[in-house]
């Protein structure tokens, strides 16, 4: 029987650490055909999600999937992300967290789907965009997250 991955356990532990310390937990996710997220917020095949208690409803962090509902542009939407597609989890306020290697199988399966998606215009002057770490244009590099890849 194959050994269970440590990744979902590390994700849950870092989520709990963030919330216990009053930080906002963010997930960086590789988007593929199986990922259910609002496509208009996907940039370069990735999306960053605020998974704090205040930003989500019904958050379930299982061993295979992370599921919750969240508002995007005022509209509640269901989000479903495979744990294997999570690139990083970190605290927005200080960038502390953990990065993970990209699952090569997930990357190979989604190329055609993402290229077929229509481009979306976004505004760079919105400081409240929850999909961008450090806010909008005022975020700068001073608070830039520094993540360590764990193999």
Q: What is the pLDDT of residues 7-44, one digit of tens each?
A: 999 999 999 999 999 999 999 999 999 999 999 999 99
Q: What is the pLDDT of residues 109-148, one digit of tens each?
A: 544 344 333 333 334 444 444 444 444 444 444 555 566 6
As a whole number of angstroms, the distance between CA 42 and CA 38 comes to: 7
DSSP secondary structure letters along 48-83: EEE-STTTEEEEEE-SSEEEEEEEETTEEEEEEEEG
What secondary structure, in 3-state letters, does 94-117 show?
CCCEEECCCCHHHHHHCHHHHHHC
Whole-number percent of the chain with pLDDT over 70: 68
Q: What is the pLDDT of residue 144?
A: 57
Those residues with Cβ within 8 angstroms of residue 40's Cβ, 6 or more apart along the chain or in another chain:
72, 120, 122
The per-residue pLDDT for range 70-91, each reduced to its tens digit, is: 999 999 999 999 999 999 999 9
Q: Which domains does the chain have, with CATH numbers?
A: 6-93 (2.30.30.220)
Give 102's pLDDT tier (boundaries 50, 70, 90): confident
pTM of the complete model beyond 0.85: no
């Amino acid at each position: 029987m194959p050994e269970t991955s440590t990744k979902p356990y590390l994700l849950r532990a870092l989520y709990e650490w963030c919330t216990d310390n009053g930080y906002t937990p963010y997930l960086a996710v590789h988007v593929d055909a199986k990922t259910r997220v609002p496509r208009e917020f996907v940039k370069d095949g990735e999306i960053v999600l605020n998974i704090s208690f205040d930003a989500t409803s019904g958050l379930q962090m299982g061993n295979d999937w992370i599921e919750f509902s969240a508002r995007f542009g005022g509209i509640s939407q269901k989000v479903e992300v495979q744990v294997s597609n999570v690139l990083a989890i970190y605290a927005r306020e200080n960038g502390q967290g953990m990065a993970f290697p990209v699952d090569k199988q997930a990357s190979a399966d989604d190329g055609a789907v993402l290229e077929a998606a229509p481009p979306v215009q976004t505004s760079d002057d919105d400081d409240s965009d929850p999909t961008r770490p450090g806010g909008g244009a005022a975020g700068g590099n001073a608070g830039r997250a520094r993540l360590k890849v764990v193999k």
